[in-house]
Structure 1
Amino acid sequence: MTEGTISAVDTEAEAEAEAGPGAEGAVARLEQEGDIAADYLEGLLDIADLDGDIDMDVEGDRALVSIVGEGSDRSLQRLVGHDGEVLEALQELTRLAVHRETGERSRLMLDIAGFRARKRSELAALGAEAAERVKSSGEQEKLRPMTPFERKVVHDAVAAAGLRSESEGEEPERCVVVLPR
């Protein structure tokens, strides 16, 4: 290559240097969060003498970690608790374990025995149905109080239906209000 000629490699390296850590860096960081969370949860399962496999994935800007049982193993339901209360607590503990290792706040999402996946599906349907009612009536609709996770899923479903929504109130009574156009 002669002096003054720029190669594609040089251009890519300069672009990465200007843009900072790219998508690969973000994915690697989220994969590291998933690995730390998996180690923490493995230890928890050992202490509780529970069987389960841990699956990790990255979706958008967060690591997803799931504990799945074999067959109809219902012992993991104890880690979900009533309406996901134990699951929420375990998610926070897992996020703290990740924070301790990385020094950075984690937005990791934990699912156990498919509870959160089922809940996501139910909430998406709830949001879509509320959006249809609001479209028909032209009146806003206030939904029941929800956790931040639940509200996020409903907001996404309402937006997908072409309407706007807002959260109002104070925790733990914070709820979604679906607004007409």
Structure 2
Amino acid sequence: MTERELPYPNKPVGVGGWLMFYIWVVCIILPFLFVVKILEFLREQDVVGNADWFNSFLETVPYTSAFFVFCHVCMAIVLYASNKKVTRYIVVLLIWLSGPLLNASLLAFCVVIMPPEAGEYFLAKRIPPSIFNLVWSVVWTLYFLRSKRVANTYWRDVKAIKRSVA
């Protein structure tokens, strides 16, 4: 890779700065904290005491948690292992799948599946984190699409690589 091939030759290149923060904090530490928070939530007395919906909730937790952790581990691996331009778009897709879309499915679960009183309780607990998650996803989407470091790190065009090999 030469300096001339980079989209922004005088800007930083490689995994560092906010990109390093994203990989370590968001992709590695956050999923661990997510699982711990779910386990704490399941220990709350008013949650356990509400058995009519607790079993339904327990049926969804392993799947949503596994999906969330899987998406974040995939992001960390892709961000470390790739230098292709498409990486940015894959990460943005995973951000929205594991964030706002997963939260929307949980909110829909509260409204549709749970009994009204349990759904209202859980919905009240999920709305503030869902709003935060939406804002968080917008911020990181803008970072991955507009950052010069990200553009310099993930710069290789897949079509150009295929043409050069052929």
Same fold (TM over 0.5): no
User: Structure 1 length as normaliser, TM-score?
Assistant: 0.28
| Bigger relative contact order (CA 8 A; separation at least 6) | 2
User: Structure 2 length as normaliser, TM-score?
Assistant: 0.30
| Largest Rg, 1 or 2 | 1
Q: By percentage of residues, which structure has more helix?
A: 2
